[in-house]
Structure 1
């Protein structure tokens, strides 16, 4: 609770180094606390919140906390989230700016916020670095939601952002509902520790109003449909929702791969597995295909241009800096991208060996969903660890799927990764820092975080090797006798 209170303090106060100025507020909530936190203060408050939050999550995961009763607790957190202004980045301004370009008749995958309307638009002109000159990198489903926010809230920036916050909070609540529907009741406590009350997920994802929360909700909903609607219609609907996930952010296409994998690993009759796979793929292709046909050929132009980006807090950044002097920037980026692909495969294999899904053979009804979420967690964590461009909110998908895993070292790996990245990106914005705060923030981001993430690579490989020697690696069958139950970035 202390960690969440500190996060709310940042969001309820006046604009600061973590929270961009969205005023005038119009009919949306404005600052409720008449205080302005200085750059050093807001950085310290956020760092303390994430450290306290990580400690609380660790205790909750180790002790196996009980599930929240009903929806009152989650509803209270949702209300708090809707009263704050988003913080930790200025990404939410770019979201609604792309939406405004869309509803005003432009193409957000071609026009940049800075150039739209000659730079005089009341919303797009307030986009902050590093997105002022960048067209959208988001998929058509996300952009339609951005457009909805702009249409309902425009033309005032704070109103548009608040509508977007409402969509994010609803997605966060929907994820909890989907996980409770997909997983057996004994895992609902892990759902609330890892997702609902996790201050790190709340801070970097929900209170930061990041699109990743929406994409994760689509993945969780697809898994829930897989669990609750086992027939052909359920497969088609699940595939359609997973198509929405991939059309929100392209990396969330991993959801379809994981769900198909869960169907086959559940060891159902081959005919049934084929039928469900066909339904899943067909539903996904129909929805994603229709959305991309509407969006046009430029949807991923900016994504292709930025695919070789290397963020500051990853282990790839020091290597990139060392290589580009001798090889040139383009070749150095290409080598880093290739290396990251190899490391991602290695990390995925290691995590698959080191973890187990939390559904025993006798829980046949939940088994495909649990296996699907296990694969989501493995693949998403491998990507977060290995990607050359990675930010704290990229871990949202990991934490939405983590409740489906047997508690173990993977909890610590995921927690350490998210905590390191959250600390590396406080206060978060490019603007508003004093030289001293910038030196401290960028120093940790550049000089400390990459080596801590590299250490997590080593630990992951070590845990995998130990699991293989101990015979506690992947597990799809019934338990053995005597075994326990189961750039500026």
Structure 2
């Protein structure tokens, strides 16, 4: 298959994937999309509601087409860049270092020269997203409920939705298994949820639409920040803007992780010029989801390598900026912010390889609690190993700036965490994807794409209600018995790729002609 044919096939697959995702988004309530009641002044749904089997097929097709389409575009761009680099390299094919430099230079030149859409198509997609209702989970009803409780003077970290008056039209809409669960989100997330509740009032659809607006703005902000950070537009749009997996999971799913990821990226970009301001925005990211503190660690590593003389001053400014927002937000939220987080840390999701390990251990003579302890320890060790492997694979791919290095370490740390964590969901990957476009092309692109595609397929249709028994058995079978092995294959692929990269780096170079 030639590059031009491959490029057209990739573009067609991506376009069809977007169409299927938007179709599910505008459809009526179904197994992937909870009903939100009267629409009020927010957009409504089509009268057509696909069956559980049909919506599952549509979403599986969308995510598989999207993953395949993005992969084709990445491979096409890589081969085009390699061909151009080979042309510029002349007859010095034996000079490995020169070939590598030429490949990267060719890739960057190809991306800079490409004529990709500006803001017209991203804005049209944003409008399209705002005409849909969220799907893929019922998390947005949880957000609305926690915001409703906070806006009415309650404590969402202490009061579960089912403990609120049953007559409330927002809190009563929360679905199993979250009705009796208090909030796990940070205080800034709660503040935004309360803001959406205040604007939306007692109407669930209006409240959710306000939340969707915040998510869509964050998605557009990421694109703007990446371009400001110097990432090539073609790469930004391939990996972020026109990536159906990111769009379907993050934007159309309306997950809080996208807001936190946008704040984390903003912190990295701002910190290059003003560490205090970067700390302030980073504090908002941590106060949205605590795991997004990875951005702060990435900044420290970057400054240690690039700003050694001013390291202490920058760290102090970063910490002070973070404290300015973190402390007041947590005082406002109260002492129970981390209660649910502590309880959730021992969970093991069905689609991870750790579930197979846990079931094998707990199915024998070992107690379930002991098995969970072993899985927790094993996941920490594996995460450290993955940090080392990903650091090897991304060496030389980041721009030689503090911002570029910070973006690289965001990818390394967040990808290692999501790959190794016992409890991991597809939207947890978004932090890695907001920083990935800053890096030059590499095998990490395809590794993370493989993981995201597998996890997206695993959590279709996404709700625990509204399915027929046949669809439930099929989708749970894929989640429990197929996807864990796909993720395990990604683990193996990562290990093999990093080992080969190390071998190439340590191999003696032939003498220059």
TM-score for the superposition, normalised by structure 1? 0.91
1:8 equivalent in structure 2 = 22
Q: Tell me whether 1:57 sits opposite 2:66 in the alignment.
A: no
One of 410, 430, 438 as aligned partner of 2:444: 410
Number of aligned positions between the proteins: 460
Cα distance in structure 1, aligned partners of 2:488 and 2:399: 34
Instruction: Give the structure 2 partner of residue 143 of structure 1.
Output: 190
Deviates more, 1:100-109 or 1:402-411: 402-411
Q: Residues of 2 paired with 1:67 and 1:408: CA distance?
A: 22
Q: State the shift of 1:371 in Å.
A: 0.7
Alpha-carbon distance in structure 2 between the residues aligned to 1:481 and 1:63: 32
Matches within 5 A, 1:200-349: 200-227=245-272, 229=273, 234-266=274-306, 268=307, 270-325=308-363, 326-349=365-388
1:111 alignment counterpart: 159
- Where do 1:393-472 residues align within 5 Å? 393-471=427-505
Aligned to 2:105: none
CA deviation after TM superposition for structure 1 residue 111, in Å: 0.3
The answer as to 2:408 corresponding to 1:374 is: yes
CA distance in 2, matches of 1:182, 1:4: 27
Cα 1:354/1:472, change in 2 over 3 Å: farther
Cα separation, 2, equivalents of 1:465 and 1:316: 23
Give 1:316 shift.
0.6
Q: Distance in 2 between matches of 1:86 and 1:146?
A: 15
In 2, Cα distance between the equivalents of 1:351 and 1:178? 24
* Alignment CA distance shift 1:281-1:194 (3 Å): same
Whether the 8 Å CA contact 1:17–1:39 is kept in 2: the answer is yes
For residues 115 and 433 of structure 2, what CA distance do their matches in structure 1 show? 16
Q: SS state of the match for residue 161, structure 2? A: coil
Q: Specify the SS of the correspondent of 1:327.
A: coil
Query: Whose radius of gyration is greater, 1 or 2?
Result: 2
Which residue in the other structure is 2:170 paired with? Answer: 123
The Cα shift of 1:4 comes to 0.4
Residue 81 (structure 2) aligns with: none
Q: Distance in 2 between matches of 1:481 and 1:259?
A: 38
SS at match of 1:471: helix
Q: Is the 8 A contact 2:229 2:438 kept in 1?
A: no
Unaligned runs of 5+ residues in structure 1 are 362-366, 474-479, 483-489
Q: Distance in 1 between matches of 2:311 and 2:483?
A: 43
1:237-266 per-position Cα deviation (integer Å, ceiling 9, x unaligned): 001101111110111010111112122222
Select between 149-158 and 274-283 the one with higher mean Cα deviation: 274-283
Please say if residues 219 and 252 of structure 1, whose CA atoms lie closer than 8 Å, have aligned partners that are also in contact: yes
User: Is the 8 Å Cα contact of residues 399 and 439 (structure 2) preserved in structure 1?
Assistant: no
Note if contact 2:149-2:156 (Cα within 8 Å) is conserved in structure 1: yes
Deviations 1:389-432, CA, capped at 9 Å, x for gaps: 00011111111111122211111110000000000011111111
1:81 and 2:144 are equivalent in the alignment: no
Give the CA deviation at 1:155: 0.5
Cα–Cα, structure 1 residues 102 and 472, in superposed 2: closer, same or farther, change >3 Å?
A: farther
- Map of 2:217 onto structure 1: 170
Partner of 1:38: 51
- C-alpha distance in structure 2 between counterparts of 1:459 and 1:248, whole Å: 32
Deviation of 1:99 (Å): 0.4
Q: CA deviation at 1:359?
A: 4.3
Which residue does 2:146 correspond to in 1?
98
Tell me, which stretches of 5 or more residues in structure 2 are unaligned?
1-14, 78-110
- TM-superposed CA distance for 1:360, in Å, is 4.8
Distance between the aligned counterparts of 1:277 and 1:74, measured in 2?
Answer: 36
Q: TM-score, normalised by structure 2?
A: 0.87
Separation (CA, whole Å) in 2 of partners of 1:276 and 1:385? 31
CA offset at residue 281 of structure 1?
Answer: 2.0
Residue 223 to residue 322, structure 1, CA distance change in 2 (3 Å): same
Distance in 2 of aligned mates of 1:244 and 1:360? 26
- Residues 97, 68 of structure 1: alpha-carbon distance in 2 compared, 3 angstrom cutoff: farther
Aligned residues of 2:138 and 2:463 also touching (Cα < 8 A) = yes
Q: Retained in 1: the 8 A contact 2:225–2:266?
A: yes
Residues 424-448 of structure 1 deviation map (CA, whole Å, 9 limit, x = unaligned): 0111111111111111100010001
Pick aligned residue for 1:160 from 203, 207, 216 = 207
- Give the secondary structure class of the aligned counterpart of 2:42: coil
